[in-house]
Structure 1
Amino acid sequence: MLLLLHLLLLQLLLQLLLLMLLPLLLELLLQLLLLLKLLLLSL
C-alpha cells in the first residue's frame, strides 16, 4: 500500500517536471531552427 502511494507520488512529480520542462525544450528547438535557417541563408 505504502509502496503504491510512493510510486503514485513519483509519477506525479515526473509529470509536473515534464510539464515545466516541455515549454523550455520547445523554446530551445525553435531557437535551433532559427539558427539553422540563418546559417543556411548566409551560405
Structure 2
Amino acid sequence: VGDPFKDTSGPSLNILIKLMSMVSVVFAGLIVQYALALF
C-alpha cells in the first residue's frame, strides 16, 4: 500500500517544494525592495 502512494506523491511534493522556494525567493525580493523604499 505504501509504495505506489509514495511513487505518486513523491514527484508532486518535489514540484511543490520547488514552487514554494521560488515563491519565497520572489516575496523576499519584493519585501526587501519595499523596505528599501520605506527607508
- Place the TM-score, normalised by the shorter chain, in its bin: 0.7 to 0.9
**Number of equivalent positions:** 38
* Higher gyration radius (CA): 1
Relative to the length of structure 1, the TM-score reads: 0.71
Unmatched runs of 5 consecutive residues or more in structure 2 = none
Q: CA RMSD in A?
A: 1.1
Extract unaligned runs of 5+ from structure 1.
none
TM-score where L is the length of structure 2: 0.76
Identity %: 16
